[in-house]
């Protein structure tokens, strides 16, 4: 007796779609500092554009002076570099840096790949959506 397994088009489509359901998003994998790196953060510890901090003060305690709303945060080599808006207290970055620079270390600027804002996917409807407009301008 010989058994034959037939694959329907629906089964094949479902198998091909499975990798898209992965919770891992390789597009947003962490950028790693290849050198000791300084990034600018606001008073809440969220990464901002490095131009907010005084570039001449990179490597000086606190960055823009203690009266500044923006401070340098110093990361060691091979540390994950936060994207704009990421908090340095996030588990990916916590414990891998300091507001105080290490003695005698020259800090580089953040890698270009980290100079962007990470954003969530935008839902535009689709299966199961509650959108009611179908192009007529009225709903």
pLDDT of 49-61, one tens digit each? 999 997 776 666 5
Instruction: Assess if residue 35 is contained within a domain.
Output: yes
With respect to residue 76, please indicate whether it lies within any of the assigned structural domains: yes
Q: Is residue 6 part of a domain?
A: no
131 in a structural domain: no
Cα separation, 132 vs 137, whole angstroms: 10
**Does residue 117 sit within a domain?**
no
Question: What local confidence, expressed as pLDDT, does residue 134 receive?
Answer: 47
* pTM for this prediction: 0.62
Nearest to 74 by CA among 40, 31, 114: 40
pLDDT number for residue 123: 62
Residue 44 lies in a domain: yes
pLDDT of residue 130: 55
Instruction: Name the domain count of the chain.
Output: 1
What is the pLDDT confidence band of residue 74, given thresholds at 50, 70 and 90? very high
Burial of 72 (0-12, 13-18, 19+ CB in 10 A): buried
| 70-75, strands of its sheet edge to edge | 97-98, 70-75, 37-42, 108-109
pLDDT at residue 133 above 60? no
Residue 139 lies in a domain: no
Q: For residue 97, what are the domain limits?
A: 29-110
């Amino acid at each position: 007796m010989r058994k034959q397994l037939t694959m329907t088009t629906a089964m094949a489509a479902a198998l091909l779609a499975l990798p898209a359901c992965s919770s891992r998003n390789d597009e947003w994998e962490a950028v790693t500092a290849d050198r000791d790196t300084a990034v600018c953060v606001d008073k809440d510890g969220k990464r901002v554009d490095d131009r907010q901090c005084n570039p001449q003060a990179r490597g000086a305690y606190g960055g823009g002076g203690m009266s500044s709303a923006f401070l340098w945060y110093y990361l060691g080599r091979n540390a994950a570099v936060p994207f704009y808006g990421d908090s340095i207290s996030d588990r990916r970055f916590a414990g891998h840096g300091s507001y105080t620079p290490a003695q005698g270390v020259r800090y580089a600027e953040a890698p270009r790949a980290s100079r962007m804002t990470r954003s969530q996917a935008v839902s535009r409807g689709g299966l199961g959506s509650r959108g009611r407009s179908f192009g007529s301008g009225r709903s």
